[in-house]
Homo-oligomer: A and B are copies of this chain.
Amino acid sequence: MTTSKYSFTLNSDLYIKDPTSSETGRKVIASGAKLILENGIEAFTAKKLAVDAGITEATVYKYFANKQRLLQYYFQLYWTWLEQQVKVFTAIETDPLQSLVKAVRVISNIPAVAADPGVITKYDLRELVINEGSKAYYHAQVDEDNAKRFFAPYKSITALLATMILAVKPDEKYPLALATTIIEMSHSLKYYAKHLPALTDFPHETDQVKLDDFLLQLLYNSLKIKP
């Protein structure tokens, strides 16, 4: 691990050279996110990134060994940043239940006042992770990558939410699975609402409000608390 230009630390095994350490590196991050968002990780190539960023292909490989690592970089950046947001927004709450509700709201819906983490806007980063994030770990090298702690931030935010769940309901049998369910569904239901709406009860215009309502209801019912 080494510090970078963010207010938090990313796993340095993800990259060959820290992309936040140079203007060229920041172009790699920005163009990469833009192109992956536009056409998906499958259509994304180092050559396209190089052309978009006005650099050469070989330069891209000076920063990231391959596109899987670049994707995992965004993945780690997103979850690290989101956990930080959860901490910031729950710090002011004293009641455990209010804290938990706030955490779910932050996870489901980025607060408008949050500052951008850097080169990519938080909205683009979130959409990138919603669309492509699962491919960071649904991969043949998942166990190797897990051993390198690439998924630590994702586990960390899940553990934080699980702790908050236990603070409200100390006898909850499956706090981690419940936390995972809320985090995962808050992202995948957004994708479904947009692309496969038959899997949700959310008309497109109202999806955020209804998604928040669904997740909180799921939580309240699981904790056997009346809203």
Interface residues of chain A, those whose CB is within 8 Å of chain B, are: 39-40, 42-43, 131-132, 134-135, 137-140, 142-143, 146, 151, 154-155, 158-159, 173-178, 180-181, 184-185, 188-189, 191-192, 195-196, 198-202, 210-211, 213-214, 217-218, 221-222, 224
Contact = CB atoms under 8 A, between A and B. Distances in A.
Q: Count this chain's copies in the assembly.
A: 2
A155 B43 contact: no
A217 B221 CA distance: 10
A184 B188 contact: yes
A138 B142 contact: no
A143 B197 CA distance: 11
A159 B139 CA distance: 29
Given A155-B198, A198-B159, A217 B174 contact: yes
A194 B218 CA distance: 25
A45 B114 CA distance: 43
Given A142-B195, A195-B142, A221-B221, A201 B181 contact: no
A185 B181 contact: yes
Given A140-B40, A140-B42, A184-B185, A199 B132 contact: no
